[in-house]
Structure 1
Amino acid sequence: MNPLDGKVALVTGGAGGIGAAIGRRFASGGAKVVIADIDVAGETIAREIGGVFVPTDVARLADNLAAVRTAIEHFGNLDIAVLNAGIGERGSFVEDFRPEHYRDLVSVNLDGVVYGLHAALGVFTERGSGAILATSSLAGLSESPMNPLYAATKHAVTGLVRSVAPIVSEQGITVNALCPTFIDTPILGEATPYISDLGVAVLRPERVAEVAELALAHGGTGQAWPVVPHGEPTPFAFPEIPSIMSEPHRQISEATA
């Protein structure tokens, strides 16, 4: 069964790159799509796929709420929220630290997901169903010395997804993260050929859209889905953390007494 057929999806950062690829794939799968972006080029994508465009600054809660309202007003519902809008890091953390850009990174990459989650959950919790995908990164699963501030925001997204998922799972809502490797989008800018010269794969945005659909079809929650050039896409296996119980054996025996 196609997880997209007849669904209504909201895609932030949908004017280009990963967001546009997801919007196109979802529409081709039978979904009605709302493209939300600060870039008015999203109007072209929306027309192309038979969707609707809504100007959205994801760093503002009011804009996220308005994007959700647009989906309901135009299509009568909202089933899927893809919180994809993001920006890359500029400058060096040590030699060229830019506080103003750091604030922009947090506002778009983290606040945009927090506000988008809040806006979507306002509909999903009332209805008792819904699916949320947030775009994190492989940099949100490991160290990334080349762009530590970007990595910090993406680690936060991954942690947010894993922590919110259990809260809403009993209400029929899934919350998962997409964690792409280097993707050929404007975020990479002029670095794309240099990355390729190092032998590191730079994937097309359509690969992320493919994994997004697979994550929805999988039906799990609280998962992070790496987007890499090899193997079948599967959720990332997080390591077990050490027990936080002070006296685990005593706790168990008391519970069963």
Structure 2
Amino acid sequence: MDLTGKVALVTGGASGIGAAAARRLAAAGARVAIADRVQAPFADELGGLALTGDVADPECMPAHVAAVEEAFGRLDVVLLNAGVTAGQSGVADLDLEAYRRIVGVNVDHVVFGLTAAVPALRRAGGGQVVATASLAGLVAMPGDALYTMTKHAVVGYVRSAAPMLATDGIRVNAVCPGFADTPLIARAKARFADFPLLTAEDVATAIESVLERGEPGECWFVQPGRDPAPYGFRGVPGPRGAPRPPDVDWSDH
């Protein structure tokens, strides 16, 4: 992967998957802005930019994008990686504050991030956006319904947004890792004692593969011991004899 002359923005970049991906992007030649709630301690060593803020705040991602363009003059790659868990099932119980938090970080941040990045990517002549989803965005995850809901939302958003931006030279994808040994599962790590876990580097490798070879709208699964690859979604049967539904330009509505 050669990103010489390119500029990347990574959210949730101070640790875990985000930190591994930021280092990988910098090694490929990109200038990297690392955004998180706390300042990334290694941003200076990468020659990058450390940004802080709450990505669930509607004003945060536009401010991050503006800061990146001011510092580096352009934006080419965006990794929307920040994420949290709910800490509750969301079925038999519901902590409203925690519910709002997981939706804000896992869903709103992806929407705010993409819409903030698109104008900058267009000014750069195109670019790439990768959202970190999860296997929980592809299959049911009993016991963690809220997290599953948010990651399904990310997958659906990516698949729907990608065709709309492909004509602008902007490629939108998702990576969908299985359980990874990162701070996100730290409190529950004992439950995975006998279960193979991904490393942050495994997921960074998958992100690199998506940036190199991904097609618009693909959602790549990442599992221990397997090469990352696009997930094959099954088509939904349509009405018998019905033509393909038309593409709708909602800007006219």
TM-score by length of 2: 0.91
When structure 1 is superposed on structure 2, of 143-152 and 57-66 the one drifting more is: 57-66
Say whether 1:90 aligns with 2:104: no
Counterpart residue number, 1:111: 108
Counterpart residue number, 1:255: none
- Residues 210-249 of structure 1 mapped to structure 2, 5 A cutoff: 210-244=205-239, 247-248=242-243
Query: CA distance change for structure 1 residues 121 and 244 in 2, over 3 Å: closer, same or farther?
Result: farther
Counterpart residue number, 1:184: 181
Give the conservation status (yes or no) of the 8 Å contact 2:13–2:22.
Answer: yes
Counterpart residue number, 1:32: 31
| 3-state SS of 1:188 partner | helix
Give the conservation status (yes or no) of the 8 Å contact 1:3–1:216.
Answer: no
Counterpart residue number, 2:11: 12
| 3-state SS of 1:121 partner | helix
After superposition, the C-alpha distances for 1:219-257 in whole angstroms (9 at most, x for unaligned) are: 4110101111122211111111112465349xxxxxxxx
Please give the root-mean-square deviation of Cα atoms over the aligned residues, in Å.
1.6
Deviation at 1:95, TM superposition (A): 4.3
Ranges in structure 1 where 5+ consecutive residues have no aligned partner: 250-257
After superposition, the C-alpha distances for 1:41-99 in whole angstroms (9 at most, x for unaligned) are: x1x12123221011121112221011111211111110000000010120233444211
Give the conservation status (yes or no) of the 8 Å contact 1:3–1:217.
Answer: no
Higher-Rg member (1/2): 1
Say whether 1:134 aligns with 2:100: no
Aligned letter for 1:243? G
Give the conservation status (yes or no) of the 8 Å contact 1:196–1:202.
Answer: no
| 3-state SS of 2:189 partner | helix
Aligned letter for 1:187? L
Q: Normalized per residue, which structure has more helix?
A: 1
Say whether 1:70 aligns with 2:67: yes
For the residues of structure 2 that align with 1:229 and 1:17, how far apart are their CA atoms?
A: 16
For the residues of structure 2 that align with 1:3 and 1:239, how far apart are their CA atoms?
A: 34
Counterpart residue number, 1:254: none
Give the conservation status (yes or no) of the 8 Å contact 1:3–1:213.
Answer: no
Aligned letter for 2:19? A
| 3-state SS of 2:22 partner | helix
Give the conservation status (yes or no) of the 8 Å contact 2:74–2:124.
Answer: no
Deviation at 1:126, TM superposition (A): 4.0
Aligned residues between the structures: 244
| 3-state SS of 2:233 partner | coil
Aligned letter for 1:13? G
Query: CA distance change for structure 1 residues 130 and 110 in 2, over 3 Å: closer, same or farther?
Result: same
% identity of equivalent residues: 45
Deviation at 1:13, TM superposition (A): 0.6
Q: Structure 1 residue runs of 4+, over 2 Å off?
A: 2-6, 91-97, 125-128, 244-249
Counterpart residue number, 2:45: 48
Deviation at 1:117, TM superposition (A): 0.3
| 3-state SS of 2:131 partner | strand
For the residues of structure 2 that align with 1:47 and 1:176, how far apart are their CA atoms?
A: 28
Ranges in structure 2 where 5+ consecutive residues have no aligned partner: 245-253
When structure 1 is superposed on structure 2, of 160-169 and 233-242 the one drifting more is: 233-242
